[in-house]
Amino acid sequence: MFEQSQRLQEKLYILAQIIQTVSDANDMKTAAPMLTKSQFQLLNIISMSGGRTVSELADLLGISKPAISKTVDRLVHHLLVTRTEDSQDRRTIHLTPTAVGEGIIKNYQQRRNQRLEDLESHFSLKEMALFEQLIDTYIHRCVVLDEEMELICVQCNSQYEDQCQFKAKSGQCRYKVRVGQPR
């Protein structure tokens, strides 16, 4: 049983690598060839949330404000994000995506969705449901068995909050805790 679990772990790792480094990277490069991976990811977070402050992004990503500001500078230079001073506190800078920035994210999402539809066409609905159930069970068991999991946030931007195994275990969305939103 241990060997089978080890093989499964290796295959899941390979699957995650394929998704992250091959598929998503290709979709990112096609949608926004002028952006680095970190610039694209930051644009995606800003776009998905409808806007963030520099401080929120630094807290969320665990990166210094100067590092975030440097990446934001490039996004502003490409006319993908706008900066706006807070009317009550000039030190607070609000970041919002421009129409061009939103268009890039929409293009990326369309490409990604098309790739997923193409992939799904090779499986029956029953096979896809079973695969999803198995992955959910595996994630749930990993979270339940590992006490340190409550410290992890997969930075889904609260997109999967209702299905989050980490929230189910700790009772709160780690993403919202990190950016100071109500639980």
Highest mean pLDDT among 30-44, 48-62, 97-111, 164-178: 97-111
Q: What does the pLDDT look like over 36-52, one tens digit per residue?
A: 988 998 998 899 888 88
Q: What is the CA radius of gyration of the chain?
A: 19
Phi, psi of 63 (to 5 degrees): -120, 150
Helix (H) or strand (E) holding 108: helix 99-120
Residues 85 and 65: their CA atoms lie apart, in Å, by 15
State yes or no: pLDDT of 162 exceeds 50. Answer: yes
CATH topology of domain 1-122: Arc Repressor Mutant, subunit A (1.10.10)
Q: Start-end ranges of CATH 1.10.10.10 in the chain?
A: 1-122
State yes or no: pLDDT of 105 exceeds 80. Answer: yes
